[in-house]
Structures are given as C-alpha cells and as structure tokens.
Amino acid sequence: MSTSAQATNSQLRIVVVGNGMVGHHFVDQLIEHNTSVGADNSALHISVLSAEPRLAYDRVHLSEFFSGKSADELALTTPEYYQQHKIDYKLNAAVTHIDKVAKTVTTVQGEVLSYNKLILATGSYPFVPPIPGNDQPHCLVYRTIEDLEAISASSKVSKIGVVVGGGLLGLEAANALKEAGLETHVVEFAPQLMAVQVDGGGGRLLRSKIEALGVKVHTQKATQTIEAGDVCRYKMCFADGSFLETDMILFSAGIRPQDKLAREFDIAIGERGGIVVDNHCQTNIDDIYAIGECALWNNFIFGLVAPGYTMARVAAAHILGGDQTFLGADMSTKLKLMGVEVGSIGDAHAKTAGALCYTYENQASAVYKKMVVDSSKKKLIGAVLVGDTSDYDTLLQYALNGIDLPEHPEALILPASGGAKPGLGADALPATATICSCHNVSKGDIIAAFDGGACSLSDIKSCTKASSGCGGCSALLKSVCDAELSKRGVEVKKDICEHFAYSRQELFHLVKVGKLQTFDELLTKHGKGLGCEVCKPAAANILASVWNEFILKPDHVSLQDTNDTYLGNMQKDGTYSIIPRIAGGEITPDKLIVLGQVGKKYNLYTKITGGQRIDLFGARVDQLPEIWKILIDAGFETGHAYAKSLRTVKSCVGSTWCRYGVQDSVGQAIELENRYKGLRSPHKLKFAVSGCTRECAEAQSKDIGIIATENGWNLYVCGNGGMKPRHADLFATDLDTETLVKYIDRVLMFYVRTADRLQRTSVWMENLEGGLEYLKQVVIEDSLGLGAELESQMQVVVDAYQCEWKTAIENEESRKRFRQFVNSDKADTNIVFVEERQQIRPATPEEKASFTQQQQAKRIAVELV
C-alpha cells in the first residue's frame, strides 16, 4: 500500500525496514523534524516497509488482547496519521534483497525502492527450542497479534495450556493463557522464574505468588520430546523421566535478533547473532543503520523498548546531522505480571566485587526486597523487589545518579515505623536524572520546558512527552513538576475550588466530625461565596457518603448534577435511560417480561449492558415516574447507573450450574450488591464474583473482584476497565465470607474517606503513599486502629439505604420536577426518533430538519383546509 508520491531528486530518501514499536518511534522522530522545517517543503522522503499486515502496535501490552483489548486499541499509529505526514508505507512487504552498491531494497512483491539511508528495525523472533514434535498444530509462539489470534482459536478447543519459558515473556504468555480461560502451567529449565531479573529469594516468592493465582510452575524441567497424549492432545516428556499432558504448548523461551537480512547480504553480525552497530547505530556498511532488538551494541542485545527508543532517536539525529550517541542503556525494569509487582535494578545478583546486600522478607505479606550496595555502602548498584515496588522509583534514582545513600541504607526498604520513611525528594535529583526513560526526558529537560513557558504538569507532558509511554514515571514526574513550580513561586494547591481551601479528603472529615448535614452548613463554617459546579457536586457526594439521605431533599437537590437530579442518565437527544438493578445478573422470567412490556409500551431502545443489566433508552423526563412505578411494583429498584456509586456486581453461574465452579458466585454477588448498593463514592464502583479461577466474571478488572477457591474467596482490589485499564491487585486469599465482607467494608470506606474528587480506586491506589502494602496494613492489620470505625460507618450507609426511584415517586414535591415544561403538560417536540434494526434511535440533525419540514408542511396543509 503506497500513500505518497515518489521522492524527488532533491529529497533524502530514507527506507525503514520494520514497523514495530522501535521502527515507528524512528519514523516519529523524522515526522517531528519534518514538522519543524515545514512538512510541505520537507527535505525527507520516508518509506516504511512492514512485514506484518498492520502498522505498529503495542507489544508491551499484548496480553491485554485476551482481556478484551482490540488490535485497533493496541495500535500505535494509523494509516491516516502516516498519510497526513506523507509517509509512504507498505504492509505485507518483507524485504528479500538489499543491493548495497545501487542502494536499493526489493520487497517480497518484487517492488524496488531506492534509498540514501536504510534503517533495519527488524526486531526479534521467538526462540523455539529444538524439541522433537515442536512443529505440530497447537504448538504456538507469542509475539504478534496473528500469534494471539492463533492462541485464541486454540484455546477454544483446549482445556490445558503450557508455556515453555519462565522469564518475563513466558510469564506474560502465561497470563495470556490464563486470560483465555485455560488451566495454565509454566515449564522452566532454570531453577527459578525470571532468573535474569531477580535473585533466588525473589524467585521463590515470585513463584509462590504466581502459583497462588492458579498457575502451576515446573522448574528445572528440560523437555525431551512432545508426543501424543493419553488424556490431552500432547504429552511433554522431560529429561528426569516425568511428563506433563497438555492441549496447547506456547513457546516463550526468549528472543533472538531478526538478523537474517544482514546475514544474507554481508552486513557484520555478532558471534551469537545481532547486527553490529557503533555509537551512532551505524552498521559496518555506509548509510545502513540498525536499531532495536536486531542491533548488537558492544556485544549486547537490548530487549526492552526504552533502549530501542533511544537507538531510534540517536539514528534519526545522526541522519539529520546531529551528534547524539548511544552509550548503552539501563536495563532496570518495573512491571506487573498477573497482578504481581516485580522490580529489578542494576546488579540484581550482586556480582560486582565487594558488593554487599540488605535483604527484607515478609512472608506473611508476600514481600521480598533486596538492595545491593558497593563495598563502601555509599552507592546503590542493584535491587530486587517482589510483591511491592513502591520503593522502585527512589531506588532507581539512587542507582542511576550515583547519589550517596543515607546513613542507614536499609531504611529505604524496611517498612516505616513511626516517622516518615527516608525518601528522595525531587530537589535531591541532579539535572541529568532521567525521569522518563521511554522518551529520554531528564529533570533538566523539564526545567527547560518551564523556562520555555510551560506552566503546568499537563504542559510538561505535552511538550516533552514524559509519561506518555509506559506511564511508570507519572508519580515521579508530578513530584518534580510540583517542586519546580513551588520554586518559581507557583503555589501547588490541593484546594477543591476557590470556595473551599480544602481537599476532598479534608472536606469529608469536616462533614463527619462536625456532623454537618447540608451544603449551607459546610459553606458557612468552612467556605466562602456561593459555591460552584465543582464543589457543589463534590459536597453532595460527601454528604451522601456520610449520611445517605435522599438526594432530592430540598437541602440537597440543587447540588446534584443533571443525572442525579433526574435519577437517570441523560442521553444525547435529551431523553433518559432507565437501568433497574439486577443484583448479580440474576433475573426471573416474570421480571424479564415486565422489562419487555415497559420497553414495548413506551417504545424504548433496549440493550443488554456489559454489567449484566438491561438498559432502556429514550424515555422523556415526564415518563420517568410512571415507568419507575411499573418497575417498582414488579420488584425492581433503581440501579444507580446515574450515580457515583456501586453500579453492578457481575457474576458467573458458579458452582450451582457450572462443572468448574467451586463456590456459589451468584449468591455471593447478590449478597454483596444488596449490601453496597446505596454507597455513594468519589467515583463509580464495579464488582465481580467468579466461581472459579477460570474467571468468567472478569473479577480482576473491577474495583472489587472476588474469585472462589476451594477454601473460600480471593479478594482483588482497585482494578478497572475504561480509558486506562488496570488489573486489580490480589489483596487477600482464602477468606471466609464474614472476613471478606469486613475487608471490603474497610477498603471501600477508607477509599471514600481519603480519595480525591472523581478519583477511581485504581488511581487512588497508585497515589496512596505506600500503595498496596499500606492498604493491607490499614485494612488487614488495622495499623491505624480504624477498622471498627470504618465498618461502623459502612453499616450506617447500609442501614440508611432507600430506593431513590421509589422515594421520588412517593413525594409529590419531587414528582413536580419530572415535567418537560413548568407551565405545560405537553411533550418536547424536539425529541425525534427514527427506526433502525427494529428499534428506535435518536434522529440525526439532518433527519430532524427533514422531520420538521414535514411537520410544517402538514400544519400548513391543515390550515389551508
């Protein structure tokens, strides 16, 4: 597919072979240059050759494909973006020939392209061990979206899956199989998981945490053959005489540089593979560069995306006349594998001569931390973190910048007792400190951006791209920005708005301690002015969280936003949706019939939601009370779909019906939904309960997720879908129902007390000092002595529950609000529907205009008669 005109003689012709993450980043660097010099008169003609049938996508988050993320959502670019910037791109265009003298490349389709500069960004390929039987059907690899589609197809006809390889990629692949619903095993040749990144102690803990999630781990296993199985499709026979039966085998035993082109056309290759490059990422052939996982620098292949991005920037700069150089890269990494936090920095195995180690292990909390320091105990040279990576950013800055350690270095990884934990403030970082490794943004770059006119954190993100890659630096970036703004005399406030000099958390405590029950009381005692669209809904939410009074009481109604005011979600045409509560997704045939009758009577668009409820769209505001009355008489309640509160508790059918279920997930879901259905919170809440580890209810993508085990319930917290998906963290295991409810009470009420306005539980957790471990201490260990108080406050909310629809229709004053016009009972004629797929939908502006013209014509005709 070609998208631009041929290059002119005056243009520098650049051909990029490969359009993975690094290849695309290189193109982005050239686009930025084109833009800076004027795209219409660009001196560059850029051609991109992708061997895959699609443009660049995010390989780092490939496993999210199995939790619902589409190929389009994983995409890093679009055809439109390349077309806009006059990038000539071709798909399914593997290169088969390089003519180094004529400076041309030939694609598999036979097309010949000439170049002045050739960039090899061919990446890597998955290593498949030479095991007899490894080429049979359902023996797959994990690298591309097409691989994922093959895995997905295989998983539909398989029950058990095995991943060969227990490294970083292997555990990512295991997560993919688990997400696909298979009983999952990991087979690793080494004595431990992730042997490159973590030490023995960290590996032991990592194994226990992975196994607690239902993945079976087999270490020190060398597969000899893959044969036909007796029970499953295949039998993996190991060197020690044991075997493992499986239906699918997924090889993820490491990568190899994709250097085939270089080998075939006499470009220098390292002894163990990889295209040899210098500090400018140039090969031994003039005008040919190599970047990313195919490139070998100083006899080293860099298998992370951040070093590849750095290579892309260096190569682009060199081609454009710059003087940047590639001098290696930090291979430290922080990641989350199946909800398990893992961090590795520098010399994690303490191989440096004279290295000393500080180790902290808490088996009860499943946390392992190790610091490696030099012989003087002044410099940090490595670290391993498993189960809690909250100290990662601080330790990384000590290591990267050679900052002297505090007098007692061990305090950096030990839990804080009493006073504050020794941290590393933004002021202690040198200007050279790298804040964002994905885009190579230093503290000095951020200061320069402020000098150049940036005035806020969002400005910094926009002009430097910091935190727009993996996002792991977001907390550190904010800290640096806040410190720099303070130095410049800019007050960094947490005030909720100009009317209250308090954060949401502080307002919550003022309401609770002061027993304030109205906004007027709060404003009189602690605020000024009349309030605004920010503080009024926030105060309404806080008052509801503490006292749970009817939100349409005269004291509260003026604070609510439109949706809360009318107890329904307003749609684009001014109508409202109606979503009754269907606890746990369980519904009787009689109730289904009532919903059908209501939809038919009022001609409502009807849809089943993702949260196991039924949504009725298109009701006029004056129709809401009469529809609610019908539903309430049939036993329904409001589903609170309009509120910042509990929306749904999704469930699978559990042990009652499913042959895999080990607990009654539906019954548990109904109990939990009925308990928490009246809780107002800083943002919406979603729960799910799965009856076994096959996870059909998708509990690990919810604010509160519960998964049944043989011994009780595993509790997950602070996950979410949406714009920025986040897996929930495993919080506690094998809980009885009483303990489960106690922990949920405490987590939710602590969130309600301490979260910022409109803050999801996932963001709250990420911003909570001490993160998951701190939350466990507060909830499980009751470290703040708040446990009983949090439970008591939750019980107040539970006891005060009322169906807001029912209260509204029984109150004559409230019913008066549900009229389209104050002085008329007529309906709104601006609401126009058209029929599509045998249901209604809102008319488009063009359809409305046509309808209005027809109505006018009819009126004139009537008047003439």
Q: Binding site for [4Fe-4S] cluster: what residues are annotated?
A: 652, 658, 692, 696
CA distance 630 to 666: 26
Please say whether the beta carbons of 47 and 16 come within 8 A. Answer: yes
CA distance 293 to 290: 9
Q: What are 187's strand-pairing partners?
A: 164, 218
Known binding site for siroheme: residues? 696
Handedness of CA 568, 573, 575, 581 (dihedral sign): negative
CA distance 591 to 639: 15
Helix (H, G, I), strand (E, B) or coil at 381: strand
Q: Give residues with Cβ within 8 angstroms of 857, minimum separation 6.
A: none
By the 10 Å C-beta count (0-12 exposed, 13-18 middle, 19+ buried), 501 is classed as middle
How many CB atoms within 10 Å of residue 428? 15
The DSSP annotation for 635-683 comes to T--B--TTSSBEEEEEE--HHHH-TT--S-HHHHHHHHHHHHTT-B-SS
Please say whether the beta carbons of 496 and 507 come within 8 A. Answer: yes
Pairing, β 434-436 against β 441-442: antiparallel
Q: How far is CA 91 from CA 18, 50, 94, 378, in A?
A: 10, 5, 8, 53
Q: Give residues with Cβ within 8 angstroms of 215, minimum separation 6.
A: 174, 178, 184, 185, 186, 338
Q: Give residues with Cβ within 8 angstroms of 848, minimum separation 6.
A: 830, 832
Known binding site: residues? 652, 658, 692, 696
Query: Which one, of 129, 126, 140, 130, lies nearest residue 233 by Cα?
Result: 140
Q: Give residues with Cβ within 8 angstroms of 458, minimum separation 6.
A: none
CA distance 528 to 678: 31
In this structure, which amino acid lies at residue 360? Answer: Y
CA distance 614 to 598: 12
H/E/C letters for each residue in 772-820?
A: HHHHHHHHCCCCCCCHHHHHHHHHHHHHCCCCHHHHHHHCHHHHCCCCC
Length reported for the chain: 865
Pairing, β 569-570 against β 124-126: unpaired
Please say whether the beta carbons of 551 and 544 come within 8 A. Answer: yes
In this structure, which amino acid lies at residue 412? Answer: L
Q: Which two tokens stand for residue 293?
A: 């996982």
In this structure, which amino acid lies at residue 419? Answer: G
Handedness of CA 98, 101, 103, 109 (dihedral sign): negative
Please say whether the beta carbons of 651 and 689 come within 8 A. Answer: yes
